[in-house]
Structure formats: structure tokens, C-alpha cells
């Protein structure tokens, strides 16, 4: 099964949360909204979202791409 993840061109780092490409694109486009949701969510987020948000926070302002890992 094809996995998708984020790749930071500036740091040459990748992360592959367990989710679909569409979800990763959604989170990347709405990073700031998602972070607000996370802040007000006491029950905790899905693991992929926590993982994705952490990566986007670490690489804010960097060139982050969505890549596939099918190799």
C-alpha cells in the first residue's frame, strides 16, 4: 500500500503519518486551523494528526512537500 508523508526540503527530513494523501493535504492547507482545534480538543487528536502537526510546527516557514513512499 502506498504511503504518503511530508518532506521538508530545507532540513531533508520526512515523516509518514498513517493517513491518506488527501488528509495530509488538508492538514497542510489548514495547519493554523487544525492547531486551534488541537488546542481545544481535550480528548486528543488522531495520532496521524498529532504527528503531522508536530512536523508542520517544526518546519514552519520551510518548504514542506507531500511525497509518496512506494519504493
Q: Is the dihedral of CA 12, 57, 28, 61 positive or negative?
A: negative
Of residues 2-31, those binding Zn ion (CB under 5 A): 8, 10-11
Three-state SS string over 7-31 comes to: EECCCCEEECCCCCHHHHHHHHHCH
The three three-digit cell numbers of residue 33, written as one number: 486551523
Whole-number Å distance between alpha carbons of 2 and 69 = 6
Point out which span in 18-26, 34-42, 44-52, 56-64 binds Zn ion (CB under 5 A): 56-64
In the complex with Zn ion, which residue's Cβ is closer, 32 or 62?
62
| Count of residues touching Zn ion (by CB under 5 A) | 5
Query: Which position among 32, 47, 62, 69 is part of the footprint of Zn ion (CB under 5 A)?
Result: 62
In the complex with Zn ion, which residue's Cβ is closer, 41 or 60?
60
Q: Which residues sit at the interface with Zn ion, rule CB under 5 A? A: 8, 10-11, 59, 62
Amino acid at each position: 500500500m502506498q504511503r504518503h508523508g511530508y518532506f521538508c526540503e530545507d532540513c531533508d527530513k520526512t515523516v509518514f503519518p498513517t493517513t491518506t494523501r488527501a488528509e495530509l493535504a488538508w492538514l497542510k492547507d489548514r495547519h493554523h486551523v487544525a492547531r486551534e482545534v488541537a488546542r481545544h480538543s481535550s480528548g486528543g487528536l488522531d495520532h496521524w494528526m498529532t504527528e503531522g502537526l508536530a512536523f508542520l510546527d517544526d518546519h514552519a516557514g520551510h518548504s514542506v512537500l507531500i511525497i509518496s513512499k512506494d519504493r
